[in-house]
Structure 1
């Protein structure tokens, strides 16, 4: 996938049913022109929880395509009242989440947001979106704000099937 391209709804929605109340929101790349050369967002998805839940997490891949370090200092989302960077850390036999105040990517560096690792935590969600809904998620840096549009999909498996 090249920077600035996005997957169309037909490429992401081969099945129309929802499994056990779980939805996944895929992010298509929709970056601002200034940031497009610097931060690339790929295979990003947000798991939408059952309707009674008020939080979820976002996962995917970030890469710095620029020639200088890029520091992500925050995030925001149209879905959640608060969107923050977190990391799951193993302490003895317990896993806990710790806030990450900033995340610096060296030129060419790729960072994976994944379950049990770095991720975006979305909290204060009033209602989980319906299939086909769009959600905006933005990553903030000192230089710019990079946003992507999220489209609700049925589950995480469809991302693995459509992104080879």
Structure 2
């Protein structure tokens, strides 16, 4: 005959599993919705935009690198006294569990000399450098100055069998 099990003994495994589930990996910071809008003048810089999503811990974006442009800088457009000016940013805070938008009229990337190969592919990889040591690799869609895709249209086979 088996001894009756106490209610406490039944609750211990359940409580332990809930406790261990709460000890999972912290939510990471991530970047999405990245795109580069090409400048209509190839000698002028293009602009990059994205959304940074803060994880469980605050961090800072310290810079952005790419092999597909000669130079990348973070900037912010600001209005003061009826004038709009732009200033470079050395870092941008990404608060825990918050979003930071790099969007037209505000924070943005400036990219000089975007590579023709990337333009033809319609995307380029950006590496986001975070203060916590993370490096986030994100593919940014490349848009023409009018906002349409820069990717070359796939070749169409005109020799169709009938």
1:90 equivalent in structure 2: 79
Deviation at 1:54, TM superposition (A): 4.0
Cα RMSD (Å) of the superposition?
2.6
Could you state the TM-score of these two structures normalised by the residue count of structure 2? 0.64
Structure with the higher fraction of residues in strand conformation: 1
Alpha-carbon distance in 2 for matches of 1:126, 1:147: 18
- Gap runs ≥5 in structure 2: 1-26, 150-162
Q: What is the total number of aligned residue pairs between the two structures?
A: 122
Larger radius of gyration: 2
Deviations along 1:1-55, whole A, 9 cap, x unmatched?
xxxxxxxxxxxxxxxxxxxxxxxxxxxxxxxxxxxx4222221111022363341
| Bigger RCO (CA 8 Å, 6+ sep) | 1
1:132 aligns with 2:121: yes
Shift of 1:58: 0.7
> Once the 2 structures are TM-superposed, how far is the Cα of residue 75 of structure 1 from its aligned partner?
0.8
Counterpart residue number, 2:97: 108
- Structure with more of its chain in helix, by fraction: 2
User: Which of structure 1's runs of 4+ aligned residues deviate more than 4 A?
Assistant: 126-129
What TM-score, normalized to structure 1?
0.63
